[in-house]
């Protein structure tokens, strides 16, 4: 398939090929009007009892991707392909990537990024690329290309033999000073045909925590001692870290999975997500690719119990998921949730691309949680058991109304938009076409 040509930002290309200018809808949240160097007033309550001990003047941005030929573009949010290029081209010393896999298509938005990585290596930047071993046989071309590039060191990580799952995290580090994490895979489709959400952050202690997880995995992927964990700073981390941007304040804590494989086990994401949901007073809004409590005859009740308890105490709980959840074994659990008072579930169906079917694309893939418009999580995990107990994933917990309110607007755009439909507890569902 020849790579598509993409419309300009802020334009929707109709099925007839005409370019239509998208206009903000009256009365919508400030998501389209506020700059997306994000911050907010510190939340009135915190998940951590102790106040943050480190403060830095640094930035936190949300970064999106959206399917072309849809109305899901948020003009105020930077796009991932441009942000990745800027970050990689600015590297002077080191680049570390941890990616599920790498897949490209000729003429895509990913090609210039791959070239930027190669150019960085040529100018002396130390490049290390960590990828899931199990997917190398599916998508070998880009990994093999990078492996052959002088100055690039690549390791294939056999996570299954160690943890039982996969390297599902998607993040990279620049010069040990900035981190990017999010739902975007290192995949051309993630940059043009999938709704994704990520974050760019430059807070030193947060970046250090990501670096320590990367170094742990880099050693394990290279055959290092199974007991090795990168040493954390003397005296431990001091989270939440305070991020000051534009005079506003956010409190940020990096979180990771799975338990048992972390330099600092206190940063395991699962119990912190449960605490977030437990703190909700009015709303819990969650968007994911998939949500499933039952897997392989096993009931994973940790998050399910927290969501049900929130609804039982009068909190409005809303789940926005992809239509991939129409598959047998997943849809039944969602129908059970939808039938409960206080819980609503909607599925999003993205229209096909005018150029033809694209496998594993035209889907919503963002992963984030918003609590009461003053706390949030942005990460790489779908909410199923293995993502927390067997696979490597990463995320950020962010306290502060600025970013949470913006994420809330992002959620409501999808919830009230033209592609979302409520789950019917009594209906029979057929799964969509996903792969080849």
pLDDT on residue 246: 56
The pLDDT score that the predictor gives to residue 59 is 83
Task: Output the pLDDT for position 15.
Answer: 30
pLDDT at residue number 402: 84
Q: How many domains does the chain have?
A: 1
At residue 35, the pLDDT reads 34
Cα 63 to Cα 191, 196, 361, 378, distances in angstroms: 11, 8, 19, 11
Q: Any idea what the CATH number is for the domain that residue 85 is in? A: 3.30.870.10
Q: Are 232 and 133 in contact (CB under 8 A)?
A: no
Q: Which residues of the chain have pLDDT under 70?
A: 1-58, 245-248
Q: Considering the domain boundaries, does residue 431 fall inside one?
A: no
Give the residue numbers spanning the domain of 175: 21-422
Q: Quick one: residue 27, left, alpha or beta (phi over 0 = left, psi -120 to 50 = alpha)?
A: left
Which tokens in the block code for residue 43?
A: 């939340």
pTM equals 0.88
Q: Is residue 433 part of a domain?
A: no
Residue 427 belongs to a domain: no
Per-residue pLDDT at 33: 33
Does 14 fall in a domain? no
Q: Is residue 430 part of a domain?
A: no
Q: Is residue 217 part of a domain?
A: yes
């Amino acid at each position: 398939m020849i790579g598509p040509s993409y419309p300009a930002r802020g334009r929707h290309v109709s099925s007839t090929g005409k370019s239509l200018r998208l206009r903000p809808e009256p009365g919508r949240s400030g998501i389209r009007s506020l700059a997306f160097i994000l911050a907010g007033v510190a939340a009135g309550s915190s998940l951590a009892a102790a106040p943050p001990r480190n403060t830095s003047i640094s930035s936190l941005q949300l970064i999106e991707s959206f399917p072309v030929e849809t109305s899901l573009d948020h003009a105020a949010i930077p796009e991932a392909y441009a942000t990745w290029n800027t970050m990689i081209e600015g590297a002077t010393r080191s680049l570390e990537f941890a990616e599920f896999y790498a897949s490209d298509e000729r003429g895509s938005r990913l090609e210039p990024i791959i070239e930027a990585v190669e150019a960085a290596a040529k100018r002396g930047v130390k490049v290390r690329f960590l990828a899931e071993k199990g997917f190398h046989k599916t998508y070998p071309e880009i990994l093999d290309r990078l492996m052959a590039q002088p100055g690039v060191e690549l390791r294939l990580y056999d996570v299954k033999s160690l943890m039982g799952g996969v390297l599902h995290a998607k993040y990279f580090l620049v010069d040990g000073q900035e981190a990017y994490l999010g739902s975007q895979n290192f995949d051309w489709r993630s940059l043009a045909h999938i709704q994704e959400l990520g974050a760019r952050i430059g807070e030193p202690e947060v970046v250090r925590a990501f670096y320590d997880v990367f170094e742990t995995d880099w050693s394990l992927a290279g055959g290092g001692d199974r007991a090795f964990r990168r040493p954390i700073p003397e005296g431990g981390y001091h989270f939440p870290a305070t991020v000051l941007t534009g005079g506003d304040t956010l409190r940020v804590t990096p979180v990771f999975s799975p338990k048992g494989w972390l330099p600092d086990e206190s940063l395991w994401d699962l119990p912190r997500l449960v605490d977030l949901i437990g703190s909700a007073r009015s709303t819990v809004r969650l968007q994911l690719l998939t949500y499933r409590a039952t897997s392989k005859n096993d009931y994973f009740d940790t998050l399910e119990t927290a969501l049900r308890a929130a609804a039982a105490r009068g909190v409005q709980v809303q789940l926005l998921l992809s239509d991939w959840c129409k598959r047998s074994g997943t849809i039944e659990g969602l129908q059970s949730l939808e039938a409960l008072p206080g819980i609503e579930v909607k599925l999003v169906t993205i229209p096909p691309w005018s150029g033809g079917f694209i496998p594993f694309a035209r889907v919503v893939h963002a992963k984030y949680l918003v609590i009461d418009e003053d706390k949030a999580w942005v990460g790489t995990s779908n909410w199923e058991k293995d993502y927390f107990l067997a696979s490597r994933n990463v995320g950020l917990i962010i306290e502060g109304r600025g970013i949470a309110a913006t994420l809330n607007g992002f959620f409501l755009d999808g919830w009230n938009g033209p592609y979302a439909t409520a789950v019917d507890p009594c209906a029979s569902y057929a799964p969509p076409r996903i792969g080849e």
